[in-house]
Amino acid sequence: MDQNPPKIADEEAQAFAFTVGKTVQNYGTIEYLINELIALIIKDPLISRHMVKQPVSKRIEILEALVKRDALAIESDGLVLTDLFSAAKSAFINRNKVAHNPFVIREQKVEGESHLTSGIHVIRYLENGTSEEWIDLPKLEAFTLASRDLLIRFNQLLGHYLAK
């Protein structure tokens, strides 16, 4: 019996899988904050329950319209609303790419040597009629940083409404 079983994934694949988890967690937290903000602003549990059934893009639009009413007060608190909602919509397109496409470990040959590379092979949620997309670790890390920034901004927005 072999005392050294083969590795299922190399360190790069493990790092990639870990980053997928961080990214998906960020997106989940952002979605939670969006739902909480809508509920806090609307103050009607019946309507709030129906809001969370809407696609996240629709909830972002609704939240944007609600927040515009308080834009002056929010911005006077030092919070920046510029591009928050458009960035959130783009981020959730990326979330769908990460969450609904296969994680793949490919073998690439460079100068006769094999190298395994990890990524997400995007075959759904393509933009502008493009064919396929490959999300490698650097691109995924960019999604993680962008989603972390959005998480912080939505959390600050929630803080503004909780302080009212």
Chain centroid, CA 16 distance in Å: 15
10 belongs to a structural domain: no
131 belongs to a structural domain: no
86 belongs to a structural domain: yes
Q: State yes or no: pLDDT of 127 exceeds 80.
A: no
Average pLDDT of span 18-28: 95
41 belongs to a structural domain: yes
**Percent of the chain surpassing pLDDT 90:** 70
114 belongs to a structural domain: no
Number of domains in the chain: 1
63 belongs to a structural domain: yes
Closest listed residue to residue 144, CA positions, set 31, 29, 32, 20: 20
Q: What is the pLDDT of residue 6?
A: 47
The per-residue pLDDT for range 47-94, each reduced to its tens digit, is 999 999 999 999 999 999 999 999 999 999 999 999 999 999 999 999
Q: What is the pTM of this model?
A: 0.85
Given a contact cutoff of 8 angstroms between Cβ atoms, the answer to whether 88 and 30 are in contact is yes
3-state secondary structure 22-45: HHHHHHHHHHHHHHHHHHHHHCCH
Beta bridge partners of 115: 108
Q: Distance between CA atoms of 102 and 131, rounded to whole angstroms?
A: 15
153 belongs to a structural domain: yes
Domain that holds residue 89: 20-95+137-163
Closest listed residue to residue 97, CA positions, set 154, 153, 24, 22: 24
7 belongs to a structural domain: no
Q: State yes or no: pLDDT of 30 exceeds 70.
A: yes
